[in-house]
Structure 1
Amino acid sequence: MDNPLDTVPPYPHALSFVVRLHRSASPSGAALPGRLVHLATGRQVDFKDFSGLQAALQSAVERILTPLE
């Protein structure tokens, strides 16, 4: 169980996402269209397959964790 006295949350809001799969997504994984939504900003990225989901998530996390110079 998480310590309620932790000052740094284990799952920060800035790194919270929702993955929404399109109704045409197949259980076989051959087609996996959907949308990745960043909860803090509402920014949405559509993807067509698992590789696209992975790329969108990686890009979003890098953008969030890379400080602006």
Structure 2
Amino acid sequence: MSCGRIVFAGHDRAVDHRIRCVRRGDSERFDILWRGRIAPTCVGRYRPEFRFQARIDDVPMPALPTL
């Protein structure tokens, strides 16, 4: 597994977002998977040529308000 970071400088553009929430067994906890592409528009490059992905494991489901 690699680890890195994404820094948006100015008005960089992120596109093609794919976000998945995967339940962990029968629990109320989830893994969140996010991926997409970035165009470094701050340096004049407008084609989304860089891919990114992020993962957060074992996230508790938030309490939802009752109506």
- Bigger Rg, structure 1 or 2: 2
Q: What TM-score do you get using the length of structure 1 for normalisation?
A: 0.33
Q: What TM-score do you get using the length of structure 2 for normalisation?
A: 0.34
* Structure richer in helix, relative to its length: 1
**Bigger relative contact order, structure 1 or 2, given CA contacts below 8 A and separation 6+?**
2
* Structure richer in strand, relative to its length: 2
